[in-house]
Every structure is written in structure tokens, then in C-alpha cells.
A and B are shown apart, each in its own frame.
Chain A
Amino acid sequence: MKRPGALPGLLAALATTLVMLLLRVVLGVPLPFELVSDRFLPFVPVEGFVTGLGVFGGALLAKQIGFYGSFLGQLLIGVALGGLFVRLLSRGRGAGAAPLTRRAIVVTFGAAAAVWLVTVVVLWPALRSNYGGLPPERAALLSAAGLLVLLGVFAASLLGAYAALRERERS
């Protein structure tokens, strides 16, 4: 019997990427890549910063690699997490079993909520930016809400894609 494999993870990552891009283009909510670099780049000493840019062929090329690479990286992380999720959920369950249990749903959304909380705490100073010009306090709330939406979309679409594929398998 075949399992859905990494497909639910890929679909979830694609759905999350789409929502993330919509938030960035329409509301100016920073991409996770922008938040992470704004949070941590200031801690890189200037000599290391300049050397690092040189390794990537200069600032412009480094930015382009970061821009496109972040989307690719996001898909790869989604696939990896999806694969792990399917493996955990399929363990010891027959082909006829219901695709999802209440426990699986609670654990998945719980994990998403936990990741959100950690992310907000770690990235907090960077959340105050907004590329549409929202004042800092409102920007921070919007960025935090945006991250919650993204993790929620990832969890929901992961569960949904997995359930749909397993349902097909049972039919």
C-alpha cells in the first residue's frame, strides 16, 4: 500500500507560501526571511558581514539568493515536515482506519501554536516593521497575526491534504 508520502507537506508549503506572498504584497507584512534577517543580521560583526557578502558574490547577488532561496527553503522544510507528519500518523494504522483522529488534529494545531509562540518571542523586535508603513505597534500585531495565519494555514492544509489523500486511498 502506498502512502501519501511528502505530498501533503508540499501542498501545505505551497498554500502557506501563497498566503505569505499575499500578506506581503497586499498588507506589507514582512516575509519570514525578512524578519529573520532583520532580527539577526545586526549581530553579525561588520568584518564577518562584509566577508559573508563577498562569499555570495556581493550584496546584490546575496539578496537575490536569499530572496529566491527562501521560497525554495520553505518548500523543502514543508516537504520534510509533511513527510515526518505522514510517517507519524500512518504508524500502526491500517488502510481502513479513519484518516485523522481528533488527537492528531489537536496535536498538529498545538504544535503550530507552540511554534508561533516561540517565533513571536524570538522575532519580537523585528515584528515592528511593515512595508506598507503601518505604525510600529500595529505593525507588530499584524506581523504576529500574519505568522499565526501562516502556521495555521500550514497545519490546516497539511491535515486537509493528508486526509483527502488517505480518503482516496480508502475508497
Chain B
Amino acid sequence: MSERGLTRGRFVAGAAGGALALASGGLIEVLRRRSAFGYDGQELLGGTLQPVTPTDDFYVVTKNLVDPRVDRDAWRLEISGLVERPRTLRFEDLGSLPSVEQETTLECISNGVGGGLLSNAVWAGVPLRALIEEAGPKRGAKRLFFHAADGFTHSTPLERGMQRTTLLAVRMNGELLTDRHGFPARLIVPGAYGELSVKWIDRIELIDDGRKGYYEQQGWRAERVHTMSRIDLPAEGKALRASAPATLRGVAFAGDRGIARVEASTDGGRSWRRAKLDYAPSKLTWALWSLPWAPREPGTYELVVRATDGEGELQSTVEDNSVPDGASGLHRIAVTVQA
């Protein structure tokens, strides 16, 4: 009797377990569809590059499995710590503050030489300086410590937050931020790598200590973007025709220092020609460059590019990976020229 009872019990338990597993599977699928797996780390390279990156193509690198979907009504932005007048803002409050529009390029600190983890967008929002001044920093406040809904944190010197170009952005390319780009509000910190442009920000704390944020604790140093340049066209390994005119194209970026000059070489760096800057609207954005080239002889050519930033400093030739302060080195590609 007990064996039959237990068998029946196991059947009922199995059915219950099956129902629970099915329901869980459905919810896992909901999360998978919302997850960042489809867009995290996706690079945009090559001939389709546009001066302003469409929002859906703008690179995303996130620590999250599933990015936040912040409820606008529940969201609050707290400004606290070493301030005379701590305040809590709602999303509607941001609309009544002076807003500016600013085109800014962001690059991920993990972007390798020749990588596509950088994009350019037009951001609109409130200068962070206005919010901090209104809260009144106390004497001794040295740094800003940012908190986000997903638990991400990052810090920066107070002076950086007070720069005219550091924004609390609420719009991107003319629309409200999308979830994956930090809705309802994110920072835009020109000159620093993207991890400092904290998304889904919900608290700005003024501090006097050396507290470190999420990736800062690991040892990443994101404060200064290295000057970079990249060849997008022709693509690596592409076969060209001798004497047929071709155009080399690509991007160059130097954080908030601007790009003064881009040079390309078709002989592995022995000689250089100055490229034309087709698009370089401000110091905060990338520059799109081009250079006509008509290879005379068949063979394999090594193309190299280098940039000089707005302060006159030539891009570093030292090849280094992105750990811990961003990659450096020149982008080189090989192309074949056929008769």
C-alpha cells in the first residue's frame, strides 16, 4: 500500500514540478528576450558609419544580464552628501531646468585598437554643474560619487562634474533615452571613457574621501580617453585594383581634446599623407576622415593611420591592450592590390 501511495505521490509531485518548471521556463524566456545578450558589445564598423550614430546602432557595454527598465514615476534623482541643500528630483522636475544640446562621442574603455565600441550622438539635458551649484557643495567636497539603479557606481573629481560639458542627459538624438541607453537619465562625461557616463543614474553624492566605484575598485582608470584612429574602408583583406582610385575612410577620436589632424600611410608607416577631415563638428566628437588613394603596383600593402589631438599630441604608437586605462597603438590593416 505504501509503495503505491508513494508512487502516486511521486506522480503528483512530478506533475507539480513539471508545471513549476514550465512556468519558470516561460519567465526565463521573458528575461532572455529583455536581456542584453542581443546587443551587449556589438561593434559598428565599416562603410555604413554615419556622422551621428542612429540610437539603435549606438554601442552598448553593460555589466548587466538584463538592463533596468526604470519606471519614470518611481524614479528619483537624489543629490546628497556634502551639500548645503540636499534635494530629490523627479523626472518632471528636470524639464523645468535649463537644458542644452550637445553632440558627444563615447568610447568604451575595453575598445581595442581598430575596435567598434565607440559611437556619436546628440545628447540633450541639464548641465550637471547647475544641479550641483543649486545643492551648494560644502567645503571639503572633493569628488562626486554616482549611483545607478542597477547598482553600478562610479566617481570623478568635483571639477569634472562642474565642467560646462558634463551633462545629465535625458534625450538622445532627439528622443527620450531608450532603456538600454539609460532611461530616464544618464550622465555624459566628455573626455572620459564610457563607463563614467553612468546610465540609469539615481543618486549623486558629494564626498570627501577616495571611495571607488564598481570598475574603479577593479582597477580600471577611465578618466582620460587615449587618442585613437581607425581605418574602416577598405576592409581588412579587401582586394583592390591597381590604378583604380580608392578612398581610405575611418574615424579618429580624442575624448574632449578634438582631432587636429589625421594621417594615413600605405607603406606600413614609412611615409604619411594628411587625410581630409570630412566631419569634425566639435572637440567632443569623433572626426570622420578620408584620403584618396590609387595604388600603382599590384601587391600587398599595409595601411596605417594615426591622429593628432587638439592639443597637438600625436597618438601613441605603443601597442597596449585596454587594461587598465584603455588601448593604445596604431591601427594597421593589410590589403591586396591586383593587376
Residues on A facing B (Cβ under 8 Å): 1-2, 4, 7-8, 10-11, 14-15, 17-18, 21-22, 24-25, 28, 30-31, 33-34, 38, 41-47, 49-50, 58-60, 63-64, 66-67, 71, 95, 126, 128-136, 139, 161, 164-165, 167-171
Contacts and interface: CB of A to CB of B under 8 A. Distances in A.
Given A1-B2, A131-B68, A14 B219 contact: no
A115 to B, nearest CB: 21
5 contacts: A34-B65, A59-B40, A71-B28, A132-B70, A136-B78
Contacts of A133: 68-72, 74-75, 149, 184, 200, 202
A76 to B, nearest CB: 14
Interface of B: 1-3, 5-6, 8-10, 12-13, 16-17, 20-21, 23-24, 27-28, 30-32, 35-37, 40-41, 61, 63-72, 74-76, 78, 147-151, 184, 200, 202-203, 214-215, 217-220, 323-324
Nearest to A5: B10
A167 B20 CA distance: 22
Contact of B24 (A11, A14, A46, A170): A14
B28 A128 contact: no
A25 B24 contact: no
Enumerate the 9 nearest inter-chain pairs by beta-carbon distance, A residue then B residue, closest first.
A133-B70, A168-B9, A129-B151, A21-B27, A14-B20, A46-B219, A42-B217, A168-B5, A131-B68
B68 A171 contact: no
A129 B220 contact: no
A64 B37 contact: yes
A126 B2 CA distance: 48
B65 A63 contact: yes
Contact of A49 (B72, B147, B218): B218
Contacts of B41: 58-60
A164 B9 contact: yes
A46 B151 contact: no
B9 A14 contact: no
Contacts of B70: 132-133
A63 B37 contact: yes
Contacts of B3: 2
Contacts of B151: 30, 38, 126, 128-129
B37 A129 contact: no
Contacts of B148: 129
Given A132-B68, A133-B68, A46 B323 contact: yes
Contacts of B202: 133, 135-136
Contacts of A67: 31-32, 35, 37, 65
A28 B150 CA distance: 10
Contacts of A165: 6, 9-10, 13
Given A2-B3, A18-B27, A28-B68, A132 B74 contact: yes
Given A21-B28, A30-B151, 4 more contacts: A129-B151, A132-B69, A133-B184, A171-B1
A169 B32 CA distance: 40
B37 A60 contact: yes
B220 A46 contact: yes
B16 A11 contact: yes
B27 A46 contact: no
Given A135-B78, A135-B202, A128 B40 contact: no
A22 B27 contact: yes
Contact of A134 (B2, B6, B17, B74): B74
